[in-house]
Amino acid sequence: MFKGSNVALITPFKNDKLDDETYIKLIHFHINNGTNGLVPAGTTGESPTLSHSEHERVIELCVKESNGKLPVFAGTGSNSTEEAISLTSHAEKIGSNGALIVTPYYNKPTQEGLYQHYKAINDKCGIPIIIYNIPGRSVIDMSVETMARLYELKNIIGVKDATGDLDRVDQTLKKLGGEFLQLTGNDDNALEFNKRGGEGAISVTANIAPKICSDFQKFSNLKSELANNEESKRLDKILQPLHHAMFIESNPSPVKYAAKKLGLCDDAVRLPLVKVTDNSKEIIYKALKNAKLI
């Protein structure tokens, strides 16, 4: 249900308020351009600076506008277990297909604390849950053993792996089996990630290159009938400069600038993030041109 190219949706702002009209256009842009799934209110959607009501609003809009055409896995994680349960319950109530839940940041829980956090959410909710493991932002790293314990629970179905450690794909596959969904959170390693048994990405780059990202995933997924090593390598070569450019400064400032150049939305971000520098703009523009997006 949630394989292939899934976009970590940006949240557009106008005068520092949610720009509902533009957000709706973005959702339909993805419906019409090959994206396989939508992830609202994640890191790329600037969830740390969304109010509780804004967080719920972007998920509601996503579910309503996608109207079953694409699955929605809402970002509902928090470093407060109670808040994560609340956000996940709301996502379930309004019709989200699942939840993407980040490992608790700042608190630095033990592996047992991680297990109990996800178990508490699992026990209170009834939709599929994807673990989001990103030690670079949350400080702690969920072990393969802890994931294996969580996979025994009814709602845990997979992981968005942003560790950058490709050996983790092999270890997870060996320990949890091929039914446990592995998605990369690092656009730049998607080719090798899929070669090792991954089945997709939750992508930043898909915000601006949905068709290329979707085609790349079709050709690089070894379980796909369209698997084509040469074509996946060709598309990866086009995408790599874009992937690099999207992380030249803190995400999502670069992708929002790229989206502005493509006429998709404004490049406004909320403090403490700021817009990209002129030097970064040049690199982003060249990457867009190289990919023939402009």
Residues marked as catalytic? 132, 160
- The CA angle 72-76-78, to the nearest 5 degrees, is 160
Distance CA 38, CA 107 (A): 28
Among residues 3, 4, 33, 14, the alpha carbon closest in space to that of 256 is found at: 14
The amino acid sitting at 132 is Y
Contact 292, 266 (CB under 8 A): no
Contact 204, 213 (CB under 8 A): no
Among residues 143, 139, 168, 134, the alpha carbon closest in space to that of 251 is found at: 134
Distance CA 267, CA 254 (A): 8
